[in-house]
Structure 1
Amino acid sequence: MKLFLKGFRCDTPKCGIERRSNPPGQQQNRRGKLTDYGIHLREKQKVKHYYGVLERQFRGYFQKAVSSKGNTGDSLLAFLERRLDNIVYRMGFGASRSAARQLVNHGHVTVNGRRCDIPSKLVNIGDVIRVKNRAKSLDLVRGVMAEHSHDVPDFLSVSAGDIPEGIVSRLPVAEDASLPIQTQLIVELCSR
């Protein structure tokens, strides 16, 4: 399944999934049917790779989702969607989630007027995410925005003026995730 880890390269003919019909490696034989555990694990790994989260962080988000009100799977996806690197990517400031993470790490993004270099920071309603007013930062983001058009989800509002900025108008919900995810499988696996 395409996880769009390479950004917009997955839309081009160079995408590795469409070029090969067999898995990489010398042995081309597929094993039998996946077990139930394998199906659950693959779903969890898909979400971890999609958002660029390691196991310990994922467990922390899962514990927050368990302690919050409502459906655990939907809360987990909402926490993952609220990450600053994901928000920067969804606003179109980065070509991929890893590029957006690097933008945040290198200090090219401010949250509510303050420099924030923590990609795992959870944003809240009304937070203003703005590109720093430096030539290098502006050139990076404007280049990505000009090259790639992004569909901005409805929980974000983006203005691409002199300094690109966006506002979180509401908290994201599970339906805002752009990847088809079966959250029930993840909850069953992590609740063991």
Structure 2
Amino acid sequence: MARYTGPKNKKNRRFGLPLKNGKPDTKRTGTGRGRRLSDYGLQLREKQKAKYLYGILERQFRNYYLKASNLEGVTGDRLLQLLENRLDNVVYRLGFAKTRPQARQYVSHGHIQVNSKKVNIPSYQLKTGDQITWKESSQSSDIVKNASDNAGFESVVPTWLNVDSSRLSGEVLSEPTLSDVELIIDTRLIVEFYSR
């Protein structure tokens, strides 16, 4: 799959996100104002930002939108719930990984279990009550030792998740709400983009 592996700060500058490693945003090219984006340009940029942040390609993101539009409730809120309930995102939000790509790699390499069963699909949708643990054979590896130092402390664990740092496990307590999402994504623009 064609996943973005280029410079992260370049994308972060483009989408107005904080830079990695605490670097100051000193790269300023050109002195004039940029052109004002059209409505379509704003919608497209917001969709691309969400895809980049969650590490999802276009077809999968569109499928999430279609699924969210068929669910009851506000489509934008449902879309964010589907994205937040992904296994790789939950592993990241529990503090078991420093970045979403790292969490995705842990899942796809088979280090993570859901309800005591190995799941190696990063897009696996978690439900309320699901238990997330490290695979037993992975618990002696350096990966888990590094994660145990960071678990639940480096990132702020949202209220819809519970982390047990001593046992290196987590649990989904409830559905995520819009206030629990740490990312600044305007879902209204994404819904407008797909409903053109």
Give the SS at the match of 2:36: coil
Q: Is the 8 A contact 2:129 2:174 kept in 1?
A: yes
Residue in 2 aligned with 1:149? Answer: 154
1:20 offset after TM fit, Å?
2.5
Which amino acid in 1 is paired with 2:155?
H
SS state at 2:136 partner: coil
* CA drift at 1:177: 1.2
1:181 corresponding residue in structure 2: 185
Structure 1 residue runs of 4+, over 2 Å off?
18-21, 27-31, 134-139
Query: Residue 137 of structure 1: CA displacement?
Result: 6.0
Q: Does 1:97 align with 2:100?
A: yes
**Contact persistence 1:3–1:50 (CA under 8 A):** no
Q: Which moved more, 1:130-139 or 1:148-157?
A: 130-139
**1:2 partner letter:** L
User: What's the secondary structure of 2:49's corresponding residue?
Assistant: helix
Structure 1 unaligned segments of length 5 or more: list them. Answer: 5-9
Equivalent pairs counted in the alignment come to 179
Q: Distance in 2 between matches of 1:42 and 1:3?
A: 16
Q: TM-score scaled by structure 1?
A: 0.86
Structure 1 residues 59 and 3, CA, compared in 2 at 3 Å: closer, same or farther? farther
RMSD: 1.9
Kindly indicate whether residue 134 of structure 2 is the aligned counterpart of residue 134 of structure 1.
Answer: no
Identity %: 43
What secondary structure sits across from 1:44 in the alignment? helix
Residue 113 of structure 2: aligned partner: 110
| Structure 2 unaligned regions, length at least 5 | 1-15
Change (3 A) 1:150 1:138: farther
Query: What is the deviation of 1:103?
Result: 0.2
Give, in angstroms, the shift of residue 138 of structure 1: 4.9
Relative to the length of structure 2, the TM-score reads: 0.84
CA–CA distance in structure 2, aligned partners of residues 55 and 3 of structure 1 = 24
Q: Which residue of 1 aligns with 2:85?
A: 82
Q: Distance in 1 between matches of 2:116 and 2:18?
A: 32
Aligned to 1:20: 26
